[in-house]
Amino acid sequence: MSFWGQLNLMDPVSQIQSEMILFHDHAMILLVGIFTVVSLVGVFIILSKFTSRNIHEAQTLEIVWTIIPALFLIWLAIPSLRLLYLLDEQANSSNTLKTIGHQWYWSYEMPYISDLSYDSYMVQESDLSKGEYRLLEVDNRTCVPLGVETSVITTSADVIHAWALPSLGLKMDSVPGRLNLMSMKPEVPGVYYGQCSEICGANHSFMPITVEVITLKDFVSL
Ligand SMILES: [Cu+2]
């Protein structure tokens, strides 16, 4: 995550995040197209001599300019719905990570692996080592296995927080008294950063999320 990296979306490391970036590009094609056409129409209206100002109806034109936008909406809606259902897919999950938001830190549990529960606090600026990211490093990173689908269950102990990991296309509210479910399948090993994404109080900006993606072999031997 260099300076230039911070100006863009983070690199996708899961199939679902790549799909979301593709959908963004797909939607941008239409957006840029509409912007261009509307701008051109605006320019033509300014330059028009209004010789057609006495025309009151044009059935064919009206049919065309109703049907074409409707087709564009379908062109947007179909991949959008597909993505929505893909995001909810939980069928092949074989590991579970529970994340609990607190004011102002996260705690994690991995019930299938151990009954261990641990807290994850941000590393203060004065304690950072060289090369570590300010406001993003935590004292206890959570680990998930590479190439394995992990269900992430998120909840909160006090107010509403949100657990987010942009590289993996994850963001979900952590609501007290509720268990919200999402799934992740990281395809590239590495360390990924996220932040609480719900304004949750004074130290909202200081409860980052750091996830280490390690090979299954390393994960099993933890
Ligand atoms: Cu929070």
pLDDT tens-digit map of 150-199: 999 999 999 999 999 999 999 999 999 999 999 999 999 999 999 999 99
Residue ranges covered by each domain of the chain: 15-87, 95-220
CA 9 / ligand 1 centre spacing (Å): 21
Long-range contacts from 170-173, C-beta under 8 angstroms, 24+ separation? 170/194, 171/197, 173/198
CA 107 / ligand 1 centre spacing (Å): 12
Q: What is the pLDDT of residue 10?
A: 80
Q: What is the pLDDT of residues 15-69, one digit of tens each?
A: 999 999 999 999 999 999 999 999 999 999 999 988 888 888 889 999 999 999 9
Helices (H), 48-175: 59-87
pTM of the model: 0.83
Whether residue 2 is predicted with pLDDT greater than 80 in this model: the reply is no
Is the CATH number of domain 15-87 3.40.50.10470?
no
Neighbours of ion ligand 1 (CB under 5 A): 161, 196, 200
CA 195 / ligand 1 centre spacing (Å): 8
Q: Which fold has domain 95-220?
A: Immunoglobulin-like (2.60.40)
What's the whole-number mean pLDDT along residues 67-76?
A: 96
CA 204 / ligand 1 centre spacing (Å): 5
CA 207 / ligand 1 centre spacing (Å): 7
CA 176 / ligand 1 centre spacing (Å): 12
Q: What is the pLDDT of residue 91?
A: 80
